[in-house]
Amino acid sequence: MSVKQLQVDILNLKNQNDVTILAHYYQPIEIQEIADYVGDSLGLSRTAKEEVNTEYIIFAGVNFMAETASILNQDKHVLIPNPESCCPMAAYLTPEKVIKFKKEYPGLPVVMYVNSTAAVKAESDICCTSANAVKIVERISREYNVDSVLFGPDANLADYTEQISGIKCLKMPENGHCYVHSQITIEDIKIVKKKYPNAKLIVHPECIRGVRELSDYVGSTTRMYNYVRDNSSTDNEFIIGTEVGLLERLTQDFPGKNFYLAKDKLICYNMKKHNLELIKYILENLDDKAFEVKVPPEIARRALKPIEKMLD
């Protein structure tokens, strides 16, 4: 069946049922096109909390994002098209490891990037996303009256947040990273900048420091999108240092502008495990429990606090 036909079928099924489809910017473009809302982690969490009032949410993103939506909507059914879509960065931390860090640094607040499991969030004081990490660290350090925080699991986001806020972000663990963003090297940037000398370079904070320092702008996926939107009358070319899904979205929304990837194959294979066939199947089988994301109630209760503290 063609992509167009699948999209038509999905939209018809969605209209016949009480369903909202949320999609991250890193989803294949044909999924972004049928979503009710496309956003970054922060935008999707906010939408899940404040705007969704349907009985079912289909979440096209990695499973920590769907878990967050489920924790925020315990009276709704959150369904993930491919339950194997997970973020490898989340595996860098277990609840046991967080408890060990807390014992080693008593009195320091635990700031947890949302790219973590619900059980790890349950051991944390506040969550953050790449869009609000600086603000969250500044605020929690004031609340606890400290100049250091424990920060996990992304060491590059910790480094970026520390650089901007001036507050020490102790990494939990030292080497947590995203395989998509951290593969971009300084050498890659030199090559791509030489090829497109007039392009603005915009990158995600999960990139390494040397790459961030060569860029014109650092921000979450929505902020990168907004940077292009707000500068598109002056700038024509942009080098994108994040997952290819954002480049596809930008290419569609800003025809006439040129977008180049910072290097080939910036693909999050985990995000790409969803497809239109799976979404159609779920819409035809909304009560198939195999796709439902459920967090054990006690973990959901404890993980809700740091998530809500972030959103507040």
> In sequence order, what are the beta bridge partners of 260?
239
> In sequence order, what are the beta bridge partners of 57?
20, 78
**3-class DSSP assignment, residue 200:** strand
The reply to whether 32 sits near ligand SF4 by the rule CB under 6 A is no
Binding residue for ligand SF4 (CB under 6 A) from 21, 35, 79, 87? 87
User: Least CB distance from residue 72 to ligand SF4, whole Å?
Assistant: 19
User: Least CB distance from residue 90 to ligand SF4, whole Å?
Assistant: 7
Angle, alpha carbons 245-288-2 (nearest 5°): 45
φ, ψ dihedrals at 161, nearest 5°: -65, -40
| Partner in contact with 123, chosen from ligand 13P, ligand SF4, none, beta carbon below 5 to 8 Å by kind | none
User: Least CB distance from residue 52 to ligand SF4, whole Å?
Assistant: 21
- Whether residue 83 is preceded by a cis peptide bond, meaning omega within 30 degrees of 0, is no
Q: Which is nearer to ligand 13P, 32 or 130 (CB)?
A: 130
Binding residue for ligand SF4 (CB under 6 A) from 22, 71, 89, 199? 89
Residue numbers at the binding site for ligand 13P (CB under 6 A): 40-41, 115, 129-131, 178, 206, 220-221
Q: Are 125 and 137 in contact (CB under 8 A)?
A: no
Q: Which is nearer to ligand SF4, 14 or 177 (CB)?
A: 177
User: Least CB distance from residue 60 to ligand 13P, whole Å?
Assistant: 13
DSSP 107: T
Binding residue for ligand SF4 (CB under 6 A) from 10, 35, 224, 271? 271
Which string of DSSP letters, residue by residue, matches 147-168? SEEEEES-HHHHHHHHHHH--E
Q: Which is nearer to ligand SF4, 47 or 270 (CB)?
A: 270
- The tokens describing 32, both together, are 């972004």
| Partner in contact with 88, chosen from ligand 13P, ligand SF4, none, beta carbon below 5 to 8 Å by kind | ligand SF4
Binding residue for ligand SF4 (CB under 6 A) from 23, 108, 178, 199? 178
Can you list the positions of beta strands (E) in the chain?
A: 19-24, 37-39, 56-60, 77-79, 110-113, 126-128, 148-152, 168-171, 200-203, 217-218, 237-241, 258-261
The reply to whether 180 sits near ligand SF4 by the rule CB under 6 A is yes
Residue carrying structure tokens 């979503």: 35
| Partner in contact with 130, chosen from ligand SF4, ligand 13P, none, beta carbon below 5 to 8 Å by kind | ligand 13P
Residue nearest to ligand 13P (CB): 40
Residues lying near ligand SF4 in the complex (CB under 6 A): 62, 87-89, 115, 178-180, 243, 268, 270-271
